Amino acid sequence: MRLLALASDHLRLLGAKRLTVVAIAQAAGMTHANVYRYFPSKEALVDAVVDAWIKSVETRLTDIADGPDPGDDKLERLILALARANRDALNDNPQLYAAFREAMVGRRAITRRHRARIRTLLDRVIEDGVTSGAFDPRDRERAALFVLDACFRFVHPVAVELEGDVPQSQFDNRLASVVKVVLRSLASGTI
């Protein structure tokens, strides 16, 4: 949709606070009232831009979860891909990432759905690992929560932003260490 593309461009250049529905409407050659027919508020328009990015990330993660790899490989790739998507967005499009962070902190619907989708993919991958014998958790619910807690610093937008000045190689090495601990814990049945 053209309005989303324009809103995405404006968000990248100006940020959510300076983005205006009037400017987007002018760029689209319509009145701002027409924009409000599609998006009930400026926040809804920004959320739609953020949601488009979220869906692209989720598509990549779904491809990993649906892949033929063993559960332990899938889990490692899933965590690394989610962390990389967040870090790349922070570096490549900080205004979009700020809008994503605000939506997450505000617990808006788009981020609640995103968290639910991530959890569903995580549950599926853990189940694949259990089925293949790669994982032997005592409790699958606790195992999923353990993975989320262990990886929080690397995937939550506030934490990722706080780590934004950490060199990528250091960030990657720390994440790789955490992933190894997660995989060993799931394989050994300590969780």
- Of 157, 130, 155, whose CA–CA distance to 50 is shortest? 157
Is 32 part of a structural domain of the chain? no
pLDDT digits (tens, 9 = 90+) for 79-126: 999 999 999 999 999 999 999 999 999 999 999 999 999 999 999 999
Integer Cα distance of 153 and 162 in angstroms: 9
In a domain, 175, yes or no: yes
CATH number at residue 115: 1.10.357.10
What does residue 163 show for φ and ψ, rounded to 5 degrees?
Answer: -95, 10
The whole-angstrom separation of Cα 173 and Cα 151 is 13
Q: Which residues contact 26 (CB under 8 A, 6 or more apart)?
A: none
1 pLDDT exceeds 80? no
User: Which range marks the domain in which residue 61 is found?
Assistant: 42-188
Q: Is residue 124 part of a domain?
A: yes
pLDDT of residue 140: 95
Domain assignment of residue 5, yes or no = no
CA distances from 69 to 8, 54, 62, 129 (A): 35, 24, 13, 10
> Does residue 36 form part of some domain?
no
For 56-62, what is the mean pLDDT?
98
Residue 89 and residue 108: Cα distance in Å, rounded? 19
The predicted-structure confidence for 151-173, as pLDDT tens digits, reads as follows 999 999 999 999 999 999 999 99
pLDDT for 12 equals: 96
Mean pLDDT of 124-139: 96
Please indicate, yes or no, if residue 52 is contained in any of the structural domains: yes
16 within some domain: no
> pLDDT of 29-57, one tens digit each?
999 999 999 999 999 999 999 999 999 99
Q: How many domains does the chain have?
A: 1
User: Does the residue 114 lie in any domain?
Assistant: yes
